[in-house]
């Protein structure tokens, strides 16, 4: 299949970028979206142009590296997948495809389609962990009885790969779905309850400092999330945060 | 510290939006119940009711809470919307928000602004006249707000403005009610679908009945 690409090109974090047109021919419908970009880069290198920079690592939907806004949607038009799992058969011969980086003040562009998502790392460092004594006498996690429903919900929240699609797709560039998943995966389990209050307070505080927007409950994040993280988590974060604010301060 | 969290944090600021919003929704029910007297009630009855609502101490105290809620909801909403815009300085060249969210949920600031402008016009027409204006008396010696209201709605342009603003209010509430529950942390797979349905039906029932009043007066 032959395609017209409109790709965001930006030299570095400080220079202004722009969409650039590229024509690409004979793309296999069975290739992945990132393989199509590999093909484009081969063309660019052959013609002496700078290849398009884009994030990728595992290419099997679990690392959260790939981050493209394809044709107006995070990770492209399909649901519950990352860009690396998007296949060219989702498009038609002759299609024009817009490829843009995830846009948010808290995700500044480093180059072309690569954005700096270290704001997520800083939110995690503010409280996305449990403190465990690893002196050698660590209690077996399975020794603590946990209701199946809680374990399932915690696991669902823990499937968040931190890709940032929620931020990219939210009209407010809010990081609430990400933060709520990271808070929920611990707050539902006894191991996470010890630090539950400080975790909610510190992670939300860091989220606000990073310049993400405020959640207006549009639900767009839940639809575009490659892992199907539910809005229930955002309500849980609201409960955790408000409860902690009132009792702890 | 706790006051900081409830005032300065994003979730704290949204809490105030939810609480004031739900209070304003409750007010709408009371307001509608009173206003429906314009359809089924009498001139004397409506004027007596208006007099009671502006003089009874408990209602007066509640009305100050209402004014404060309107101001807080508007100012907080404006500040949140401004920081939301700032959170994405470079916008997408191609964006398809309709694929993942409803128009109303994405247009709360616009719909809220329309509602606020409406509220200013509305309060100038009736609230200001009732409280501070020179208003004729009815046969029982009470301020004749009934005649003022009927006269206002006999103007087709004024009635049309009301109907348009009520449509905006309907959209605003259709997302706002369920959104307030979510912000308060009230989300449960068993109840949330019901809350969403209730919010939507309530929103359109309220705005529909409010819009019916000027249409009814204009037509009869």
**Residue B57 predicted with pLDDT over 60:** yes
**Residue B202 predicted with pLDDT over 60:** yes
In this structure, what CATH number is given to the domain that contains residue A205?
Answer: 1.10.1060.10
Q: Do B80 and A232 touch (CB under 8 A)?
A: no
The pLDDT assigned to A215 comes to: 98
A103 plus A45 within the same structural domain: yes
A217 in Cβ contact with B105 (< 8 Å): yes
Which of A72, A237, A245 lies closest to B12 in CB terms?
Answer: A245
Convert the pLDDT of each residue in B66-118 to its tens digit. 999 999 999 999 999 999 999 999 999 999 999 999 999 999 999 999 999 99
CA distance A186 to B54: 52
The pLDDT assigned to B143 comes to: 94
Q: Report chain B's mean pLDDT, rounded to a whole number.
A: 95
- Place B220 in a pLDDT band, splitting at 50, 70 and 90: confident
**Residue B27 predicted with pLDDT over 70:** yes
**Total of domains in chain A:** 2
- Place A135 in a pLDDT band, splitting at 50, 70 and 90: confident
The pLDDT assigned to B3 comes to: 55
Convert the pLDDT of each residue in A206-223 to its tens digit. 999 999 999 999 999 999
* A72 part of contact set with chain B, CB < 8 Å: yes
Which of B5, B80, B175 lies closest to A201 in CB terms?
Answer: B5
Interface test with chain B among A73, A210, A217, A220, by most B beta carbons within 10 Å: A217
Tell which residue, A226, A25, B124, A225, has the closest CA to residue A234.
A225
* A245 part of contact set with chain B, CB < 8 Å: yes
Tell which residue, B65, B76, B73, B71, has the closest CA to residue B21.
B73
A51 plus A8 within the same structural domain: yes
**Residue B1 predicted with pLDDT over 50:** no
A106 plus A144 within the same structural domain: no
- Domain end residue (candidates: A87, A111, A135): A111
A230 plus A124 within the same structural domain: yes
The pLDDT assigned to A132 comes to: 85
A72 plus A138 within the same structural domain: no
A175 in Cβ contact with A161 (< 8 Å): no
The pLDDT assigned to A160 comes to: 98
Q: Which residues contact A58 (CB under 8 A, 6 or more apart)?
A: A65, A84
Q: Report chain A's mean pLDDT, rounded to a whole number.
A: 96
CA distance A69 to B157: 45
Which residues of chain A make contact with B192, given a CB cutoff of 8 A? 232
- Place B168 in a pLDDT band, splitting at 50, 70 and 90: very high
Tell which residue, A120, A115, A99, has the closest CA to residue A4.
A99
A42 plus A155 within the same structural domain: no
Provide the residue range defining the domain that includes A191: 117-247
The pLDDT assigned to A137 comes to: 81
Which residues of chain B make contact with A97, given a CB cutoff of 8 A? none
- Domain end residue (candidates: A111, A146, A181): A111
The pLDDT assigned to B112 comes to: 98
From residue B114, how far is each of A6, B42, B207 by CA, in Å?
37, 31, 14
The pLDDT assigned to A249 comes to: 65
Which of A69, A207, A246 lies closest to B92 in CB terms?
Answer: A69
Burial of A164 (0-12, 13-18, 19+ CB in 10 A): buried
Top CATH class, B2-87+103-219: mainly alpha
Convert the pLDDT of each residue in A9-27 to its tens digit. 999 999 999 999 999 999 9
Tell which residue, B153, B116, B101, B151, has the closest CA to residue A215.
B101
Q: Do B101 and A218 touch (CB under 8 A)?
A: yes
A107 plus A123 within the same structural domain: no
The pLDDT assigned to A136 comes to: 83
Which residues of chain B make contact with A183, given a CB cutoff of 8 A? none
A105 plus A184 within the same structural domain: no
- Domain end residue (candidates: A59, A79, A111): A111
**Residue A166 predicted with pLDDT over 60:** yes
């Amino acid at each position: 299949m032959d395609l017209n690409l409109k790709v965001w090109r930006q030299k570095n974090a400080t220079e202004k970028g722009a969409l650039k047109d590229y024509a690409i021919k004979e793309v296999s419908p069975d290739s992945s979206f990132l393989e199509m970009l590999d093909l484009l880069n081969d063309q660019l290198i052959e013609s002496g142009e700078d290849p398009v920079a884009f994030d990728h690592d595992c290419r099997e939907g679990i690392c959260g590296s790939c981050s493209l806004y394809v044709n107006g949607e995070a990770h492209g038009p399909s649901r519950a997948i990352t860009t690396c799992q998007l296949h060219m058969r989702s498009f038609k011969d002759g299609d024009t495809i817009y490829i843009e980086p995830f846009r948010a003040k808290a995700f500044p562009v480093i180059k072309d389609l690569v954005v700096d998502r270290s704001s997520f790392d800083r939110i995690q460092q503010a409280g996305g962990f449990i403190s465990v004594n690893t002196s050698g006498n660590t209690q077996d996690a399975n020794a603590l009885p946990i209701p199946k429903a809680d374990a399932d919900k915690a696991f669902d929240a823990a499937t968040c790969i931190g890709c940032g699609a929620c931020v990219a797709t939210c009209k407010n560039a809010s990081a609430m779905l990400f933060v709520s998943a990271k808070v929920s995966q611990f707050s539902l389990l006894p191991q996470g309850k010890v630090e539950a209050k400080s975790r909610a307070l510190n992670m939300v505080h860091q989220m606000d400092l990073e310049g993400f927007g405020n959640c207006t409950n549009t639900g767009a994040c839940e639809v575009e999330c490659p892992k199907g993280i539910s809005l229930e988590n955002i309500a849980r974060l609201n409960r955790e945060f408000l409860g902690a604010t009132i009792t702890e301060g | 510290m706790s006051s900081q969290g409830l005032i300065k944090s994003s979730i704290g600021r949204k809490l105030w939006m939810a609480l004031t919003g739900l209070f304003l929704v409750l007010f709408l029910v009371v307001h509608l119940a009173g206003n429906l007297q314009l359809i089924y009630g009498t001139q004397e009855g409506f004027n007596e009711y208006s007099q009671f609502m502006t003089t009874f101490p408990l209602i007066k105290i509640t009305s100050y809470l209402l004014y404060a809620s309107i101001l807080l909801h508007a100012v907080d909403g404006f500040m949140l919307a401004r920081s939301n815009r700032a959170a994405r300085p470079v916008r997408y060249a191609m964006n398809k928000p309709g694929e993942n969210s409803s128009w109303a949920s994405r247009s709360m600031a616009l719909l809220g602004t329309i509602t606020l402008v409406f509220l200013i016009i509305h309060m100038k027409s009736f609230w200001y006249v009732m409280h501070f204006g020179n208003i004729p008396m009815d046969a029982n010696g009470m301020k004749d707000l009934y005649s003022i209201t009927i006269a206002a709605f006999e103007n087709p342009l004024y009635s049309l403005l009301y109907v348009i603003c009520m449509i905006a209010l309907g959209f605003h509430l259709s997302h706002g009610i369920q959104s307030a529950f979510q912000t308060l942390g009230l989300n449960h797979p068993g109840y949330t679908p019901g809350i969403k349905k209730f919010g939507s039906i309530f929103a359109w029932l309220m705005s529909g009945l409010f819009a019916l009043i000027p249409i009814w007066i204009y037509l009869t």
